[in-house]
Structure 1
Amino acid sequence: MLLLALDTATPAVTVALHDGAGVVAESHQVDARRHGELLLPAVDRVLREAGAKIDGVTGIVVGVGPGPYTGLRVGLATAAAFGAATGAPVHGLCTLDGIAYAAGQAGLDGPFTVATDARRKEVYWARYADPRTRVSEPAVDRPADIAERVAGAPVVGAGALLYREVFADVPDGDGMPKYVDAAALAALAAEKLAAGAEFLPERPLYLRRPDAQVPANYKVVTPK
């Protein structure tokens, strides 16, 4: 087994290679404006560090969001291209699930909530019984609108840190994840593959329409 995992649904451009026993190479850069510029060099760097080639990869793992339109599509398009070029299956995972898994690695048992920054003063979020078990569908809401629903349990992720005054319990100990990490995503995927579990389709979880819209009342020019 050789899994190439990548995610661009958050400001992190993150890539990792997992051989079924553990992560053998990884890259993690945070830059919300350079997903397209940074992703392919990161993949190349990870493969070279591991002494591997793309045609030796047996599976592609990609975070499907939720996340902003522009960044998210970079990772999904790249994963689809690698899958088509190599014939390796593409396995979709919820980006929030990767953060939850990393929170478990940092010592958080559950229950808890994962929240990432959705911009527009909103968060993408989901609730978890434990680091491997999501108990609600990913959603996008204003922090104040979900504060009561997630009260009584920790909230982790960049969205929690950004709205610390709204969420009552925001742990920020060593190793607590802010963004998704492909190393955690790859490890979770390896566990799911070993258990014969299902993956998500490699389709984006946008949860809302993109910012760019066709003008509603644009001028129509007809030939004379």
Structure 2
Amino acid sequence: MRTLAIETAAEACSVALFEDGNLVAHRHELVGRGHAERLIPMIAEMPERGRAELILVDCGPGSFTGVRVGLAAARAFGLAWGARVSGYSSLALIAATAFAEPDAPPTLTVAIVGGHGEYFVQRFGEGVVAITPLASLKPEDAAAFCGQDPIAGSGAEAMRAAGAPGRAIAVHPDARNTALLPPALTALSPSPIYGRAPDARLPA
């Protein structure tokens, strides 16, 4: 089976094409805010223009725009190709990548930049098992949440600066690392995970 993985929830835009679990092609670029401009051309550069039977897409949390760009593209290609569309969490992907390192710890905290000065944090154990729910916290509270864990993700150095003692693990989301996720973690509904309550409120 051919699988196309899409990753747009962070600063990078990346796509990976797998055939029966083997990596066939991969593109990864640090684009900042340019996901909408780069994603479709990157998919078009894949063999057979990326056509696949299964599309995996990062549901977040992460960049609000990036998450929505990836989901919109995945849903559109799913309709066009008659492909199944399934989601995964950006934090689980970072954890899976960190656990694949040679000196991987038994537990770790993933911390990434959130909105309004907060950080999205979640603890994981071996096998990419979530130990805590996803939380969105101010830096000091997020640093306390990390405890003694090593910290992976874009917020790792900020956590250390805020007082978390654990070492920083330099890993970031990359579509090709979706192969490291357990099957249960690539079966999310393709809907956005925002990680915090919306700012808008219904009028009283």
Shorter-normalised TM-score: what interval?
0.7 to 0.9
Separation in structure 1 between the aligned mates of residue 198 and residue 129 of structure 2, nearest angstrom: 29
What do the CA deviations read for 1:33-64 (whole angstroms, capped 9, x no partner)?
1110011111122x1xxx33444x11000010
What do the CA deviations read for 1:72-115 (whole angstroms, capped 9, x no partner)?
10000000001111111111101111111111222324200111
Consecutive unaligned residues in structure 1, runs of 5 or more: 217-224
Asked if the contact 1:69–1:210 (Cα under 8 Å) also holds between the matched residues in 2, the reply is no
TM-score, structure 2 as length reference = 0.88
Structure number, greater radius of gyration: 1
Match of 1:203 among 180, 188, 191: 191
In structure 1, the residue matched to 2:88 is: 93
TM-score, structure 1 as length reference = 0.81
Distance 1:198 1:156, change over 3 A: closer
User: What is the number of residues matched between the two proteins?
Assistant: 200
Q: How does 1:3-18 map to 2 (within 5 A)?
A: 3-18=3-18
Asked if the contact 1:103–1:131 (Cα under 8 Å) also holds between the matched residues in 2, the reply is no
Task: Verify: 1:188 aligned to 2:180, yes or no.
Answer: yes
Task: Verify: 1:36 aligned to 2:24, yes or no.
Answer: no
Between the two proteins, what is the percent identity of the paired residues? 33
Asked if the contact 1:110–1:131 (Cα under 8 Å) also holds between the matched residues in 2, the reply is no
Q: How does 1:141-180 map to 2 (within 5 A)?
A: 141-166=137-162, 167-172=164-169, 176-177=170-171, 179-180=172-173
Q: How does 1:40-55 map to 2 (within 5 A)?
A: 40-45=40-45, 47=46, 51-55=47-51
Shift, 1:131, TM fit: 4.8
Match of 2:72 among 44, 63, 77: 77
Separation in structure 1 between the aligned mates of residue 101 and residue 147 of structure 2, nearest angstrom: 21
Q: What letter is aligned with 1:169?
A: G
Q: What letter is aligned with 1:78?
A: A
Match of 1:65 among 60, 67, 73: 60
Asked if the contact 1:117–1:162 (Cα under 8 Å) also holds between the matched residues in 2, the reply is no
Q: What letter is aligned with 2:26?
A: E
Runs of 4+ off more than 6 Å: none
In structure 1, the residue matched to 2:19 is: 19
